[in-house]
Amino acid sequence: MHSLAALAEFVDTAAKMATEIPQLTDTMELGIDDAYAVQAMSVARRLARGERRVGMKMGLTSRAKMAQVGVSEVIWGRLTDAMRVEEGGVIRMGAYVHPRVEPEIAFLMKAPLAGEVSNAEALAAVAAVAPALEIIDSRYKNFKFALADVIADNSSSSGFVLGNWAKPDTAFGNLGIILEADGRPVQVGSSAAILGHPIRSLVAAARMVARAGERLEPGDIVLAGGATAAHPLAAGMAVRATFQTLGSVGFSVAAA
């Protein structure tokens, strides 16, 4: 299993069947460009099965996390309609391998965006912002992986939940956030943890999709990246994140 197409089938099957796989980089050298190629081909398999692309997610948007893994650039993954979870809905633990959740800011695009843009240009392309939760899930054994492994596995993106949309001129640069599990605070943070301001994540998103020959389209959803550390999910858990001035968003976890 050395071709990129074979690797794409490998990680896609693991995600579809919720099964653990060994790190790709344990047995081969996998560069970042090849890892993104694997991601693109893996998601293309989902689209061929009838899923629809609805946007993208950003990852490693914390300066501390970037330093921790030794990178100077954020990463990104793709979102499909099958990954969306209704606000207040229920997910099944059986559909994931190592599911965790993190609070994020979501953008809804009203205009195309790609390439090198300023903060102001990025914001001008936004129709609305919302509180969001991203469900991340690495399929790799023991939750152990290198950067290329993560990227190939769609940057660990597995699901997302959106709260109510607010006007784009709503202040969202430094909002207090409390992530609760079963009514108990498990993470506390600020939207400023996302590259200092979430709009910088959208600027990075425009730059990175352009490198892949793509662009953000009107109607696309962009998840700006985790504002706190991710919290492990467990069967029976009720999750809710409350964002200062933006409201809250949540879901529940079932066993099967």
Torsion of CA 66, 218, 241, 177, to 10 degrees: 60
Looking at residues 194-198, what average pLDDT do you find? 96
Residue 189 structure tokens:
């943070």
Residue-level pLDDT at 244? 97
- The full set of domain ranges for the chain reads 4-254
Residue-level pLDDT at 146? 87
pLDDT over 90 (residue 191):
yes
CA 235 → CA 72, 94, 99, 145, 208, distances in Å?
A: 36, 9, 11, 25, 36
C-alpha–C-alpha distance, residues 141 and 24, integer Å: 11
Residue-level pLDDT at 73? 76
- 121-164: per-residue pLDDT in tens? 999 999 999 999 999 999 999 888 889 999 999 999 999 999 99
What are the residue ranges of helices labelled H in 117-212? 119-124, 147-152, 198-211
Residue-level pLDDT at 64? 64
DSSP structure class, residue 10: H
Identify the band that residue 10 occupies on the pLDDT scale cut at 50, 70 and 90.
very high
- 16-62: per-residue pLDDT in tens? 999 999 999 988 999 999 999 999 999 999 999 999 999 999 999 98
Q: CATH number of the domain at 4-254, out of 3.30.360.10, 3.90.850.10, 2.40.70.10, 3.40.50.300?
A: 3.90.850.10
C-alpha–C-alpha distance, residues 204 and 213, integer Å: 15
C-alpha–C-alpha distance, residues 101 and 120, integer Å: 30
pLDDT over 80 (residue 70):
no
Q: Is 116 helix (H, G, I), strand (E, B) or coil?
A: coil
Looking at residues 175-196, what average pLDDT do you find? 96
Measuring CA to CA, which residue among 157, 168, 225, 160 is closest to residue 196? 225
pLDDT over 60 (residue 200):
yes
pTM above 0.85? yes
CA 230 → CA 43, 113, 127, 136, 189, distances in Å?
A: 23, 28, 27, 8, 11
Residue-level pLDDT at 68? 57
pLDDT over 70 (residue 67):
no
Are 76 and 212 within 8 A, CB to CB? no
- CA angle, residues 240, 96, 216, in degrees to nearest 5: 70
- 205-248: per-residue pLDDT in tens? 999 999 999 999 999 999 999 999 899 999 999 999 999 999 99
Identify the band that residue 256 occupies on the pLDDT scale cut at 50, 70 and 90.
confident
C-alpha–C-alpha distance, residues 86 and 206, integer Å: 27
